[in-house]
Amino acid sequence: MRTRRRLPRVLSAVALTIAALAFVFPFYFMIVGAFQQNPTNSPDRLFPVGGWTFDNFANIDSRIDLFGSLLNSLIFTVGVLLGTVVFGMLAGYAIARMSFRGRGVLWVLMLLVQMVPFQLLMIPLYVQITSGYGLGDSYLGMILPFVINTTAVFIFLQFFKALPNEIFEAARIDGAGEIRLLVSVAVPLIRPVLVTVVLITFIGPWNEFLWPFLITKDAALQPLAVSLANYISNVAQSTANPNGAILAGATALALPVVVLFIVFQRFFTATDLGAAVKG
């Protein structure tokens, strides 16, 4: 009987281990290739033979302003994050917890917006941002189209709706207004959701290269993804180790995302929404 009970656990552990290795292997391949010294060494080796070097990263820094591009990415990404979190929480809370005329129409419009790919809106947005608002070659021109994220609004809305009504009724009896309810009551209960939205939103603008490339051709304003895309497509093949240069660029772009996930993964915990309700 014990053997029969252990068998499913063993199979589950084996399956999870295989899945984890399959997920980690591309990162292992990327890091090994980024530090690989011998350009003739086949990149598909599981354990490459040869020395290790930082020259691939040094070549990137010599061709592009790596620190400046990183700073541009941080400005772009943080601006998008602030807009997404602030407007997403306000809109999600309003639709989920407040009663007003047209709330159902807003809900339908939000769902319709999610069905429209951003690529279809890119050209009219580009004309509007550059010609209409005159925000070409500026950080604001890159940030503005991403400030409102309907996916974030949808996520916040669903979790605000799941909060018990008794919590809000008790706070209103004590004289709390809607902003106080949002900041002091609702937000502390959805911290895991807030972290999820931050991580999901961070990945998008951090890896975005097409829209910032359209807005500005000035290398001093281009985010890291744009600079690395230009480097990989135009310069990497002319280096002594093309594969190492390409994988070093991918490592430089992926490293902040991995670090952010490692730092915030401890916040992915379940929230007991019913703990504040008596009985």
pLDDT digits (tens, 9 = 90+) for 41-66: 555 555 665 667 788 888 887 788 88
Asked, for residue 48, whether it belongs to a domain, the answer is no
| Domain contains 3 | no
Is the pTM above the cut of 0.85?
no
The answer to whether position 98 is within a domain reads yes
Q: Assess if residue 14 is contained within a domain.
A: no
> Would 202 be classed as within a structural domain?
yes
175: left (phi over 0), alpha (psi -120 to 50) or beta: left
Residue 216 three-state SS: coil
Q: What are the residues whose beta carbons fall under 8 Å from the beta carbon of 131, sequence distance 6 or more?
A: none
| Segment 116-169, tens digit of pLDDT | 888 888 888 899 999 888 998 999 999 998 988 888 888 888 888 888 888 888
Structural domain total, the chain: 1
Domain-located, residue 155: yes
Torsion of CA 275, 272, 261, 12, to 10 degrees: 150
Domain that holds residue 127: 67-224+254-267
| CATH number of the domain where residue 72 is located | 1.10.3720.10
Tens digit of pLDDT for each residue in 242-252? 777 878 888 88
Q: Is residue 25 part of a domain?
A: no
Residue 111: predicted pLDDT: 79
